[in-house]
Each structure stands twice: as C-alpha cells, then as structure tokens.
C-alpha cells in the first residue's frame, strides 16, 4: 500500500527542512535513503518522535516526496503525525529540527516527547 496521495495531509516539510534534509541525504551518498519519521511509545509525555535515514521500505509505509527528499511514515505512526510539519532552524537558540504536530495534546520541555 505504498502511496503518496495522502502526503499533504499526513506530514509536510518546511522549505528550510527540505533543504537541510536534502543536504544530509546527499552526504550519505545512498540514493535509496529516505527520512523516516516515526512515533514510539515512551518519553515523559507518553510518545516520542524518532527520525532517521532509512533505505528499507515496507508495503504499509506512507511516502511523501518534497523535491529530492522522500519521507517515510509507518502505518502505526501515521495517525499520530497526520497534519504535522517538520521544520528546521539554524539559529543559535532553538536551532535544529522540530515537529509542529496538531495531534499533540501535551508536550514536555525537551520538545521530543508528546501525548
């Protein structure tokens, strides 16, 4: 069931995040790699985000393409990430990647855990 039709409402990448992920993927040197975004049980608020480069594909993955960047989300994480936006900032304060997730009812100070 690999599909891209639900991509805009499932997860999106800001322009800055797309550029940064593309740079990081290019540095990996493996064109089969994609950014996998997942939700795992744990963290101080109930769930935590997991992001990593992954060459593996699963038949139930949701795939989103942003320029040269493919984002994969497993079916178990999809409902937790629907409508989320991955952002990137290279500022001195609060720099790095962050997820703006409309499904999070609470989060902790680390920004990596939500409920």
Other CB atoms within 10 A of residue 84 CB: 22
Helix or strand (DSSP H, E) at 28: helix 15-28
**Which residue reads 């493996």 in tokens?**
30
Q: pLDDT in tens for each of the 115 residues of the chain?
A: 444 444 345 899 999 999 999 999 999 999 999 999 999 887 565 788 899 999 999 999 999 999 999 999 999 999 889 999 999 998 777 789 988 888 877 555 444 444 4
**Phi and psi dihedrals of 38, rounded to 5?**
-140, 165
Q: Domain 7-105: give its CATH superfamily.
A: HesB-like domain (2.60.300.12)
Contacts of 18 (CB under 8 A, 6+ apart): 66, 67, 69
């Amino acid at each position: 069931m690999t599909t891209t039709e639900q991509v805009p409402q499932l997860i999106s990448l800001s322009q800055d995040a797309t550029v940064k992920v593309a740079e990081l993927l290019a540095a990996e040197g493996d064109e089969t790699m994609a950014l996998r975004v997942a939700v795992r049980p744990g963290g101080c608020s109930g769930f935590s985000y997991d992001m990593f480069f992954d060459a593996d594909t699963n038949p139930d993955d949701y795939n989103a393409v942003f320029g040269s960047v493919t984002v994969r989300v497993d079916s178990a994480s999809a409902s937790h990430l629907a409508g989320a936006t991955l952002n990137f900032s290279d500022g001195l304060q609060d720099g790095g990647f962050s997820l703006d997730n409309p499904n999070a009812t609470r989060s902790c100070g680390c920004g990596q855990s939500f409920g």
